[in-house]
Amino acid sequence: MSTESERVYPVPPLDGDDDPRFTVGLLFDVCRVIERHGYPPVISGGDLVELQMSLFRFLYRPTPGGTEI
């Protein structure tokens, strides 16, 4: 039985180590949402890579040691 307070993320990728939902399009959609909320545009290659890695960690990787935040 699931409750609202239980975490849903991270999730397993759809296909082993690969997930067709994790695309550059997803990354650019997140960039646009960030910009619409008043943050500066994400245009630097380094910022794009960091955002992509952060998004990947949120979606697929548990916190270190499996601990809750």
State residue 65's pLDDT score: 60
Sign of CA dihedral 49, 52, 54, 60: negative
Three-class secondary structure of residue 15 per DSSP: strand
Least confident segment among 13-22, 23-32, 57-66: 57-66
In DSSP terms, which residues pair with 15 in a beta bridge? Answer: 18
Average the pLDDT over 27-43 and give the result: 98
The mean of the pLDDT values for the chain is 88
Using CA atoms, how far apart are residues 29 and 68, in angstroms rounded to an integer? 27
The domain ranges of the chain are 7-64
Neighbouring C-beta atoms of residue 7, cutoff 10 Å? 9
State residue 56's pLDDT score: 95
Task: Give the predicted TM-score (pTM) of the model.
Answer: 0.79
